[in-house]
Structure 1
């Protein structure tokens, strides 16, 4: 209990409340001494106060959540073990989402129960261990608190078990999805080149006719029910969008010209190529095509009897089809907007927009039909094979035409890739792997269409930012009046373009994870999954966590830099600290601050010491083999910053190196040499080698020189003349005073030793040279003859 008291001041308040409750309960305890243990035990006093935190209510609510979550897991596990149906990817995705919800519930239960566990453990610390002669009220309180705490621990354990069960079920869902994908890619049926395939197709005739069946008892109808209305609505949506594509492009082109003329005074030429009107036309046409489809679907009641998944898939792909038509039709017209392309390229790519839009639509329909098993197996594989043959043939023909009619550098490479895909898919169809051939085609179409679409948006964004945020743009001129430098505006434009490109890359990754689906809701769900992330070995990997960690690093960088500048420019000038002490304080502050930021980032990412066990083990092995020098220099740098045997500004001599200390870091020290260069020396050399510090302790240094006069000269007169000369020099300190003394008398001359103090060791050479010149001048003026040195 004393240890708990040292940790916090709150137990003092708890003790006071506890004593007050005991004093109130004492008369009740003494009023019925003979009623037996059960009757004389006082009512729970402290637990009633503790229960005010809500554990009694929360306990029942958590138990209901645990029971509901366990039933949900049983249902999911039962669905996974069903043998009468085939679980498609859509169903497995829904089950995975349900398991994720159960996992979140388990984590919430553990968090809530753990918070109450902390509270009741604090109560038990206050009550303390059992002691002789204590009140029955305290005994009852201890027993009640222990009982409730045991119940809380049981709830925490149930939450952990629930999370473990959810994890196991999620692994089973993922395994089932992987197995389904592998079975799909490895599925082999009779080859279309054999009679068996066509016999199976003929045998599926009755089942195939069910695709035309109307809805029965308000149920679902066949996928081809009222197919003329479906096809008519699709054709109407495509034609109306195509009619609006070029007017929309010319509208945005005129709008772009008016904006440029209005704000810059320039006039765009007719041959001006810009990606902005093309991208805007695609976006508007995508929205228009979606609206047209929804209107036509409502007019013809196309959703009557059809699966919501089928209708939602068509509605989800309509914006992309509209974007392809809205951007492709004007881009491949006479007023081409393809950067650097000519009319030959436009003619070579003529019709590609229509083909790609139709292919994307058919691909989405076939994927949805496969999810719902709306067609018999052989008939579905035949349709997919025909689709594969048509798509690969069109793609190879387009690449061949482009490589022959233009000099595009990538055309031959793309043509080669197209031929390879066509060869692989056609061989797969011939030997019976129709599902594999269709999957390869779907992936190729999805990646090529998504790359082209996102690349066009990226180019439009780059052009927009370069035009509107350049140093000479209107925005830059307007902001310069507010004190914003034009370079800052240009930097913002570059950063904005980079952020958009990163977002487009994330979308492209989501398309790659969507198993070839270009349905916008599916891709959006994959993007959301990337941001939500997944847990791998206890560490949560997600984009939102990565973005938040990056934000923490950026904010910490600017905060540390601002505080360092405040220390250096505001606080340190008001102190008596020298430059070495200031540098050491700044370096230590920066390193400690960055270590704290690094720990904060690890905490936000969910990385604990347990997760880093393998990293620490690897580092220990690395230190033992290859990182000894780095660790040695790091420790030496810490010692240099703490003990400060050398400081920034000191003149040191290390072996043959002599210069001024410019910077001390935890790994190395920078020394400025006399020729202006910088020598970077590892810190360990300052600990293990002898270092001469010429400015340690004091910045004063001594300058000395010797002069020899003739033995016939007047030594006293020479001393007085030289002393007066040294007193008149401003670069010599007069406190302590300079001196002139006779150091030797020989038959060849009298040697006089001149000594003086200078303010810096760096001035010794220059002052010594000046003293010698002045001494020669003074002796000549005084008529004193020089002698020969002994």
Structure 2
């Protein structure tokens, strides 16, 4: 199948799984609500949440570990979410009751009403009081739960600081290992007890349920881990290398994301299947459940690290490598990635086993010290490999710069800057962690080393996903892609506009990925319930004044805006291309109607969008009144031009195609908008004239109401000229030209006699003012030829000669 189809199927499967996980509790809530009223359900939930808050307060006195604090904080935030949800569900019910009570009206003092109305008023009042009490109780419970969660988080931060600041014996201290050796027999006995309990639980489960389910789970896990995983990897490579894969970088980034998903999900699911099968037959001891869960979580994490390194480094296929690394560095970093995954797995599972076995504190300190030294050694090896890589790249860049005359590409310069920054940060972290380990601050060293590795993993995953999101968005909205062609056909967007949409989509996807990366960085030492609380805040909406903006409301408004603009474009196209050409209106009239219709449609779509956002007309009136101040001060000219444009479109003193003159400017009107009018001059340049200039100043419209043009020829002849013959010649020239109209007939006038000269003036009318200049030129040319043939001389300048007297 094509590569895009493969990705689409994966996304569809993810959406189905997510939809089922979301729909299940919703359906359960609907079933629960069917058996009791909304008020009873809310009361039951709030009572249960109140008892849970009391239980959390009692449990805070017996806190033993940060995991317990995290669990209590999550429970408190869950109570807050339940209380907020109950308040949101009861809000519409309270509004409905208020509306029904308002229909009954207020009871005047001293008056009475019928028993039926009185009973209804009493019943509705009682229901309203109950709902109002529950809303107040829910708000109070939400505040208490939030304050309780904040107190627990404060306690967690304090304990984390104390834990990081705890100083123990150095791993190099012989005293530490003497204490460890002394505790070995007791710790081995504790491990033996834990393993014996697990063995007994497994034997009881198998004796009761048999081997069928565990063996089947192991078989499914082996199939998932080996043949299916390898086959899916080969399938992805084969599809990416085929001609059906999209061109460009998307085939490489898409393959990398596919390999990361396959390499992460299948190994983790394999461990999950085995653990779930053992839990199903009660084959896991109660103290070992936490260890089994840690094995699953650690398997997912280790698989993610190894899969991410495999899809980014690709040591055996350099052409598919996304990072600027050579083969030597890729091979070394691949081995280090396996070591990092193993260390993370051992750390996660080892700590869980220590807690389950309840080993001595000194054993945990020694284990953390060894792990810290392992992390430090691993990070130092990675930094050394990156340093060697940087030196090789510098030599190559120096050779290329020498070949190119000393020029280094900006991309290479940027990569070098990032590499130096990463190495400096890494060396400082390693030095601090090593010093802390040697001085006995084991927890601080472990925290710094683990955070550095986790930061690197999240950063590399973010880099891959950012590239993939950009490639995917640009491909989906590319003009030559099937999806891009469909979008252009449906919306009428041009290729450039579609590319802009792709850039905006890429930016939104990248912002979302960066937000998720920040959550992933803070999650290991944070609280998952806090993250879920952020999403609940976004889902419930952000309150701005009296308006609550919710994500679904924004999405609905965007859908309304898109649908409204699409319908408006279809109606505009039908109006311009189908209806208006069949009317008797000229081009200017059609332009006026289509322009007014478009702006009226935009106003309706804007009001519809604001209504979808939940902004009523009263709030819009407040916004308009606030904007009126800005309009009065800063937007006066724009407002004046806007209303002038509406006047031009309505009265049409100037329309498209008219020849107008404004002062010294003359040209044809090409476009009239609500802000300015475009006038094309004779040299094909365009004049942008504000509409207020056409309304407030004198404008000569030379083509208004279909006027005719008039040619004027005025010249002087000597007093001795035969005026009658001249008249016949001039009128004959007028009559011979096809552009001169017969009605009104050309005219001949003697304008004056002065200084021995006769001034002749004549007029002829043409069909359009646009033809005056060219026809006048033709008439003058023919007149000069005719006068020369008739022997009629025109006046010539008088020569003045100055003579100097010799005396």
* TM-score between the two structures when normalised by the length of structure 1: 0.68
Shift of 1:329: 4.6
Deviation per CA, 1:339-386: give whole Å up to 9, x if none.
464322223324133134235545766998999998999987886676
Q: What residue in structure 1 maps to residue 712 of structure 2?
A: 705
Q: Is residue 90 of structure 2 the alignment partner of residue 84 of structure 1?
A: no
> CA 1:372/1:490 → structure 2, altered by over 3 Å: closer, same or farther?
farther
Equivalence map 1:336-735=2 (5 Å): 336=318, 337-339=320-322, 341-361=325-345, 387=371, 390-405=374-389, 406-407=392-393, 409=416, 410-423=418-431, 441=449, 443-456=451-464, 503=509, 506-514=512-520, 516-517=522-523, 529=535, 533-538=539-544, 545-606=553-614, 629-630=637-638, 633-634=641-642, 637-638=645-646, 640-641=648-649, 644=652, 646-654=654-662, 657-683=665-691, 685-686=693-694, 690-695=697-702, 697-700=704-707, 702-708=709-715, 709-716=717-724, 718-719=726-727, 721-723=729-731, 725-727=733-735, 729-732=737-740
Distance 2:351 2:620 in 1: 43
Which stretch shows the higher mean deviation, 662-671 or 433-442?
Answer: 433-442
Shift of 1:404: 0.9
Deviation per CA, 1:516-540: give whole Å up to 9, x if none.
4489x97998699389534332565
Q: What residue in structure 1 maps to residue 74 of structure 2?
A: 93
Which has the higher relative contact order, 1 or 2, with Cα contacts under 8 A spaced 6 or more apart? Answer: 2
Contact 2:658 2:704 in 1 (8 A): no
Contact 1:636 1:684 in 2 (8 A): yes
- Does the residue aligned with 1:744 lie in a helix, a strand or coil? strand
- Does the residue aligned with 1:743 lie in a helix, a strand or coil? strand
Shift of 1:628: 5.2
Distance 1:512 1:367 in 2: 26
Which stretch shows the higher mean deviation, 645-654 or 570-579?
Answer: 645-654
Shift of 1:411: 3.2
Q: What residue in structure 2 maps to residue 743 of structure 1?
A: 751
> CA 1:595/1:319 → structure 2, altered by over 3 Å: closer, same or farther?
farther
Contact 1:360 1:445 in 2 (8 A): no
Which blocks of at least 5 consecutive residues in structure 1 are unaligned?
Answer: 1-56, 222-234, 267-272
Shift of 1:305: 1.4
Contact 1:630 1:667 in 2 (8 A): yes
> CA 1:367/1:471 → structure 2, altered by over 3 Å: closer, same or farther?
farther
Q: Is residue 88 of structure 2 the alignment partner of residue 114 of structure 1?
A: no
Shift of 1:77: 4.0
Q: What residue in structure 1 maps to residue 234 of structure 2?
A: 251
- Does the residue aligned with 1:334 lie in a helix, a strand or coil? coil
Q: What residue in structure 1 maps to residue 265 of structure 2?
A: 287
Q: What residue in structure 2 maps to residue 70 of structure 1?
A: 46
Report which of the two has the higher share of helix: 2
Which blocks of at least 5 consecutive residues in structure 2 are unaligned?
Answer: 1-32, 202-217, 394-414, 799-807
Of 161, 174, 194, 2:136 maps to 161
Distance 2:511 2:697 in 1: 56
Of 326, 334, 343, 2:316 maps to 334
- Does the residue aligned with 1:589 lie in a helix, a strand or coil? helix
Deviation per CA, 1:599-629: give whole Å up to 9, x if none.
4444444566898999879867766775555
- Provide the aligned length of Structure 1 versus Structure 2: 693
* TM-score between the two structures when normalised by the length of structure 2: 0.67
Distance 1:698 1:772 in 2: 29
Shift of 1:318: 3.4
Deviation per CA, 1:251-294: give whole Å up to 9, x if none.
3477348844xx79x9xxxxxx9555554444333333124313
Deviation per CA, 1:383-415: give whole Å up to 9, x if none.
667655543542343133122134273433321
